[in-house]
Amino acid sequence: MKTALSSSRRWLGAALLVLLGAALVVLYVLSSRIGDGDRIQVELNLRRIITLDTDINLDVLRLRNRQLRHYDTLAENMRQIEATQADLQDAFVKVGLPYALKRAQDEWQIKSVNLEDFKRQNSVLVNSQYHFINLTGQISQELQKRQTNFPRFDAISREVLVFINEQQMQSSETLLASLQKQEAETAGWPAELMVSKRLLSAHGQQIVNNHPAVRVLMRRISNSEFPILLENAYQEYLEAYNYKLTQAENYRQVMALFAFLMIVVIALGIRRLRQAAADLARNHALLNNITDHLGEGILSFGPKGILNFTNQRAAILLGQDGEALLGQTAQSLFPDGKSVFLTALTDQRSFEGEGWLKRGETTFPAFFLGGPLQTSKENGKEGSSNGYVTSFRDITAQREASARLRLASRVFDNLSEAMSVTDKKGVIESVNAAFTTITGYTELEARGYTPGQLLGSGQHDKAFYQDMWETLLREGKWQGEITNRKKNGETYDAWLSITSLTDENGDLLHYIALFSDISERKRIEARIHHLAYHDPLTKLANRLQFIERLEKHMHESRRSSRPLTIMQLDLDRFKYINDSLSHAAGDVLLKSVAQRLLRMLHEGDILARVGGDEFSLLLPDIRSQPDAEALAKALLHEFDIPFNLHGREVFVSASIGIALYPVDGEDAETLLKNVDTALYKAKDSGRSTWRCFQESDNDNSLDRLELETDLRHSVAQNELRLYYQPQIDARTGVVYGVEALARWQHPIRGLLPPNVFIPLAEASGYIDTLGSWCLRTACRQLVAWHQEGLDIHRMAVNVSSRQLSSPVFVEMVLNTVEETGIPPECLELELTESSLVSNPDRVFGIFTQLRNHGIRIAIDDFGTGYSSLSYLSRYPVDVVKVDQSFVCNMGHETKNRSVTQAIVLMAHAMGMETVAEGVETEEQSLRLKEFGCDLLQGYLYSRPVAPEQILDLPYTEKRKMPAA
């Protein structure tokens, strides 16, 4: 309504303006049609004509009197009068008086005819007059010569001359008759006079005939009313002119008024235009602002498909500058200039659909919603097409999302874990195949029930469920163990994880429950736990548990500042008993020793079997060396009594090493090492005795110093070697990878194993140099093998925990990888369990960085350290190497209770590979394959060998790498 009003007002304004303009133009024409210039021109022309006319009259007189002897001026003046009259006529027509000059013109017409007649007759008359006088004179002279007198000739000649000169109007008829009479009278004149006489007569006749006519003409000419008529016409003109002038003046006044009105209208119009322009600018800015904040791109095309508007979003999506986009054709936005959208644009149809757009050199899918732009509809008529506008958005994410959705639904169906989706009240909407497998309920059966109704076993109390719901509502998820019931009534343990699904407003949509039957896993886990912490033979704690307890007591001891004692007890010559009697006898012996030792211990002491015939004792209450030595003596005393092994009395002696915390070692590792040292000293000093650890045992040995010095030159002297022990793929039986093992070719002592010089290197800080040498050499070796076409996928290199503390460790590794060109995924770093403990966060960081570069991490000697698999699972670890002690012990264990199998299973569950070390027998190899262990390493396959020997290995499959 408002627009209608304003539009009608606009029309009114425009119409008014046009009307005023037209009126002004008309008024201007009317007012400027006449002016002083016109009147002056008319008067000038008029005066000119009158002057010319006067000149003509004068010329006529002069011509008649032979004062003027040519007719050029007369003719020229007449011509000018005629020309000027034509101008005058135009001026008269202009004031509306086309006929006012008519009478003057007619009069001039008459006068000009008279003038032409005058010219014609006057020329004849003047000529005759001239000749008449001359001839009269000639004849008179002749007559006088002849002495003859003709009075009548004289009289007639005089009469003619008087006729001419005095302008007396004698009757021309009389004169003509006289002339004829005289002609007759002179019949008898001499012949020579006759010619002149006849000519005289002829001229006389001309004079008599023409003179009166010329006189009449002259009178008519001079009396012509032409000038008077012209003056009259001019008066008439002046009247008309003055009237026109007044009229023009009136028009001018009206014109002034109209001009003023027009100025007012225009001023108003300009004001409104300015307002409109300001509004437009505001609207434009607002539109730009709005469109620039839209999530969708906007493209607007002109009638020829040229872009004339875009928003910021469109520019971003198309990867172009907004300004640069303007003026481009629609085709240029689409790959190859083709799109369904373009067809719609050309046909001026609405379009809703997808298409591909260009973004620089790439393309992206977009969803369009567009339609033709039409000029505003007026009077119900269809507006003409004015272009095309479309919005579009990048639907790459949507497409990816829908792809993910499809994938998710496939995963949902193929998931090994049971999954159920419920509505927000907890009623099941759908379940997957695994759900049916585990619970026995199909989706059809499950739908409409809550999981509680369907699966509840009744084994959990109300508080359990309350806690579950509270957590779920608070955190949006819950996970935990729950015991449920299957369709067939069996109960099972499930690891259940429930997640609530909300929309963007946070309103609850669904619950997703994910669970697996962990009954089996739980059983294995419990068994592993026991296996892991107990020696199955003696039921004593094993090495793992012993170390855990030791750490705990050391912590306690630090707090209470009370020392504690550990002992290491080793049966002398146990191997001999084992070999000569039987393994079973050995087992009995070990059980008996355990029983006797336990009898000697107090509450709180811990006895553990940590090796074949090695026992460790943790004695928190023994706080001094003498007490410890007293106990050791007592313990050895127990061995004075023979052991009954399958009916045979056998004496077995033992040696004991003693170490005290904290004086003999501040950490478990050192303490255990030192207690070992003490044990060996006891054995060295003749067995069946005890020794306390002494610092000198380790450090002050000259031997050790010497060796350490030599070691420092080993790399430079090129004395270090790397040997390689193959790792065999358990499934195919071919060499998969190798572990690099360091050897020291000592100039005097010969080839030394790592356990001799690595501790030295670690203690002296030389380990970094040695470690990086090992790494570099191993990497180069693998690259060399690859170049030779040897298909070895893995190079395992041992890394000391000391190396990890180097701040540039990761850098060193990555540099080496880059320098040698080894594919990072072929490199595997082996670390001991204990290296994880010292600085867990730092190690975690190092592992993560290395793994991000594709390098694999293996945990060496797994099972001997303190960590459990669950502890290990927190680290990014790829491979677990089962310690050879477990492999070795496999023979003594029942099939189902294999620790090795448990480790392999658990490792696989956590996505880790397993390598078994120390495989020495076919039986072990078979068992390990059965457990699913991935790689096997041990003397059964090969000792560590020099690099050139690796080619000769029976399991190495020589084949060329695929051509690069």
Partner 1 sequence: MSDGQRKNFREMCFSFLRKPWSLATLASMGGLLGWPALAERFALEPVSPYRLIRPDEPILPILKNKSLDSRKVALGQALFHDVRLSHDSTISCAFCHDLKRGGVDRLPRSFGVGGQEGSINSPTVYNASLNFRQFWDGRAATLEEQAAGPVHNPVEMASSWEEVMPRLKNDVKLASQFEAIYNEGPAPFAIQDAIAEFERSLVTPSRMDRWLLGEDDALNTQELKGYTLFKQYGCVACHQGANVGGNMYQKFGIMRDYFENRDKRSGADMGRFNVTGREEDRHVFKVPTLRNITLTGPYFHDASAKSLHEAVSQMGYYQLGVELPNEDVQSIVIFLYALTGDELQ
**Residue 40 or 411: which CB sits closer to partner 1?**
40
Residue pair 554/661 in contact by the 8 Å Cβ criterion: yes
- We find the least distance from the C-beta atom of residue 45 to partner 1, in angstroms, to be 8
Residue pair 736/793 in contact by the 8 Å Cβ criterion: yes
What residues form DSSP beta bridges with 521?
Answer: none
Distance CA 491, CA 513 (A): 18
**Residue 35 or 823: which CB sits closer to partner 1?**
35
Distance CA 574, CA 684 (A): 16
**Residue 215 or 853: which CB sits closer to partner 1?**
215
- We find the least distance from the C-beta atom of residue 336 to partner 1, in angstroms, to be 49
Query: Cis ω on the peptide bond leading into residue 662 (within 30° of 0)?
Result: yes
3-state secondary structure of 854: coil
Distance CA 900, CA 698 (A): 35
Q: For binding to partner 1 (CB under 8 A), which residues are involved? A: 28, 31-32, 34-41, 43-45, 47-48, 69-76, 78-80, 82, 84, 113, 116-117, 119-120, 123-124, 126-127, 130-131, 199, 202-203, 206, 248-249, 252, 256
- We find the least distance from the C-beta atom of residue 297 to partner 1, in angstroms, to be 56
- We find the least distance from the C-beta atom of residue 70 to partner 1, in angstroms, to be 4
**Residue 34 or 652: which CB sits closer to partner 1?**
34
For residue 827, give the nearest of 840, 845, 815, 843 by alpha carbon.
Answer: 815
Residue pair 651/644 in contact by the 8 Å Cβ criterion: no
Sequence length of the chain is: 964
**DSSP code of 736?**
E
Residue pair 803/837 in contact by the 8 Å Cβ criterion: no
**Residue 242 or 409: which CB sits closer to partner 1?**
242
Largest CA distance in the chain: 229
- We find the least distance from the C-beta atom of residue 259 to partner 1, in angstroms, to be 10
- We find the least distance from the C-beta atom of residue 270 to partner 1, in angstroms, to be 23
- We find the least distance from the C-beta atom of residue 162 to partner 1, in angstroms, to be 23
**Residue 124 or 508: which CB sits closer to partner 1?**
124
**Residue 92 or 661: which CB sits closer to partner 1?**
92
Look-up of token digits 């500042």: 561
Q: Per residue in 219-235, is it b (16+ CB within 10 Å) or e — as a string? A: ebbeebebbebbeebbe
Distance CA 46, CA 226 (A): 11
**Residue 256 or 403: which CB sits closer to partner 1?**
256
End-to-end CA distance of the chain: 79
For residue 898, give the amino acid letter.
S
**Residue 74 or 566: which CB sits closer to partner 1?**
74
Angle, alpha carbons 924-929-935 (nearest 5°): 95
- We find the least distance from the C-beta atom of residue 119 to partner 1, in angstroms, to be 4
**Residue 57 or 578: which CB sits closer to partner 1?**
57
Distance CA 93, CA 135 (A): 56
Sequence-distant (≥ 6) Cβ neighbours of residue 139 within 8 angstroms:
153, 193, 196, 197, 200
- We find the least distance from the C-beta atom of residue 343 to partner 1, in angstroms, to be 48
Distance CA 98, CA 93 (A): 4
**Residue 71 or 955: which CB sits closer to partner 1?**
71
- We find the least distance from the C-beta atom of residue 288 to partner 1, in angstroms, to be 48
How many CB atoms sit inside 10 A of residue 960's CB? 9
- We find the least distance from the C-beta atom of residue 187 to partner 1, in angstroms, to be 19
- We find the least distance from the C-beta atom of residue 7 to partner 1, in angstroms, to be 37
- We find the least distance from the C-beta atom of residue 286 to partner 1, in angstroms, to be 47
Distance CA 212, CA 759 (A): 170
For residue 945, give the amino acid letter.
V
DSSP letter for each residue of 507-559: -EEEEEEEEEE-HHHHHHHHHHHHHHHB-TTT--B-HHHHHHHHHHHHHHHHH
**Residue 48 or 786: which CB sits closer to partner 1?**
48
- We find the least distance from the C-beta atom of residue 36 to partner 1, in angstroms, to be 4
**Residue 11 or 260: which CB sits closer to partner 1?**
260
Task: State the Cα torsion 586-591-595-600 to the nearest 10°.
Answer: 50
Residue pair 314/323 in contact by the 8 Å Cβ criterion: no
In whole angstroms, how far apart are CA 746 and each of 742, 798, 874? 12, 21, 41
**Residue 243 or 464: which CB sits closer to partner 1?**
243
For residue 476, give both structure tokens.
């949006």
